[in-house]
Structure 1
Amino acid sequence: MEITQPTAPTATISTPYSALSPPTITDSASAAPPSARPQTPSTASPSARADQTLQLCRSCVDSAAREVRLSCPNERQGAIWYEFCTLRYSNDPIYQTQTADPTYMLRNTQNVSDGDRFRADRTALVDQLAAQAANGTQLKVGVGSRNFSDLAIYALVQCTPDFSREECQRCLSEASQGYQSYLSQGFRVLNPNCNIRYELSTSTMKLG
């Protein structure tokens, strides 16, 4: 199943909904040489997918941290996405700080036929899960499904745990705008603070 790139920046994947490979890294450092940059402390914000084990999450974050150090040794801020985790770092405050830069999108090139109904069901499901995630305490995640013809739409949404209810809802609402013009059977929106993933399937979606 082919994956195409929407107009927004898109992470690279080798197979449909497989691990992001190679890891997507972005930075917004100045063009000044390392010796001229201020040596201020960096803070990092790791986030693992909520349906994974603690061991897998730690392994993913460790890999992301190593890749960031290798690929961005002198940059002041950046982000990296893997299949099971995200790592963001910056010399600026991160805690409870929302940013949509960068946002990456992945979409399935196969479209549904009943567009109006699909849009309505997709919106209802994601809105329900966004409310579930926003009302979370230690974990801000929502997972669920909604019947669509003889299939079902399965979705997972997640915010970083430092976000308030309102911040999480706002982040997911803004992220959902990325797929509104598409009728794709599957889509992912990856954001430093939140992410949305849905897929149309005949059986329970296995996110692992």
Structure 2
Amino acid sequence: MTTNPLFYLQLLLFLINLRPSSSSPESFVYVGCSQLKYSSGSPYESNLNSILASFVNSASIAAFNSFKISSPGSTAAVYGLYQCRGDLAAADCHRCVASAVSRIGAFCAGTSGGALQLDGCFIKYDNESFVGTVDKAVVSEKCGAATAAGYGGSDDVLTRRDAVLAYLKDGGGQYFRVGGSGKVQGMVQCVQDLSLGECQECLSEAVQRLKSDCAAAPSGDMFLGKCYARYSDHGYSSEGGGRRRGWPGKIAVVAGLGWLIWVLRQ
């Protein structure tokens, strides 16, 4: 057996790449920035910093809030809102929004408008009011690749997927809904500045596009401007902020690091 340390390092990196994927509330989904810029040191920049700070402060006590901040005698108003996923605990919501606020500056530096969607929360701000308006434009979509086992060929799985999405779309009376059938689970959510009727309209569009664009894929995400629909054959979990499938892999990596250190010391 070889004693070349490089061999063991390469083997460990291979094992790390094999570990199952996991998600958390701070996992990145999409970002969008406006083309309009603001001047450094301007009243708009000050108001923007204030509204981002308001997001973080409010997220510790509320899962949704909207703001308008303007300076006295100035037209440099900033409009914004944030929202957390409906199954997050208050501490997780606050942590997610704080992460989004800390990251959007790098993506949208100097722009007057920006939107960042993480797995567990959403923040958006602009120099023009968008609060309370319906937005059904597609901002992000992702379809999982069909497995070698032929996921797409299973009529039973597709029937379950369609049933889950129909249930979520027609749930009514809720901005956040989850449901499942067998191994297929789904999730939908609207931004709470919409009325319930507008939420229903937005979700109908998201579900229709999701079924059309992702066809027989094992998972799919469809994010519109003010709502989203998602499904997966892996399911979703709010415990710890996301799916827990990554833990066995992390344990294996820790064990592998210990093993590599032992080998290199021999």
Displacement after TM superposition at 1:186 (Å): 1.1
- The structure-2 alpha-carbon separation of the partners of 1:33 and 1:135, relative to structure 1 and needing over 3 Å to count, comes to closer
1:159 maps onto 2:190 in alignment: yes
Is 1:88–1:192's contact at 8 Å kept on the other side of the alignment?
Answer: no
Q: Please state which structure has a larger fraction of its residues in strand.
A: 1
CA contact (8 A) 1:23 1:82 kept: yes
Mapped to 2, the partners of 1:99 and 1:16 lie a distance apart of 32
Paired residues, number = 183
- Summarize the Cα distance change of 1:21–1:164 in structure 2 as closer, same or farther, 3 Å threshold: closer
Structure-2 separation of matches of 1:100 and 1:17: 29
Structure with greater Cα Rg: 2
Match of 1:185 in 2: 218
1:34 aligns with 2:43: no
Structure 1 counterpart SS, 2:225: coil
- One-letter code of the match for 2:170? A
Q: What are structure 2's unaligned runs of at least 5 residues?
A: 1-19, 45-74, 243-266
Partners of 2:29 and 2:219 in 1: how far apart? Answer: 20
Match of 1:143 among 157, 178, 192: 178
Q: Partners in 2 of 1:33 and 1:129 — Cα distance?
A: 41
TM-score between both structures, scaled by the size of structure 2: 0.59
Structure with greater helix share of residues: 2
Q: Is the 8 A contact 1:156 1:197 kept in 2?
A: yes
Of 224, 227, 231, the match for 1:194? 227
CA RMSD of aligned residues (A): 2.9
Deviations 1:84-121 (A, max 9, x none): 11111111212211224452112221252445554443
TM-score computed with the length of structure 1 as normaliser = 0.74
Matches within 5 A, 1:26-65: 26-30=32-36, 34=39, 40-65=76-101
Distance change >3 Å, CA 164–CA 99, structure 1 → 2: same
Q: Which segments of 5 or more consecutive residues in structure 1 lack a partner in the other structure?
A: 1-14
Identity of aligned residues (%): 23
Question: Aligned residue for 2:13?
Answer: none
C-alpha change, 1:17 and 1:167, in structure 2 (3 Å) is farther
Match of 1:169 among 181, 186, 200: 200
Q: 2: distance between equivalents of 1:101 and 1:166?
A: 17
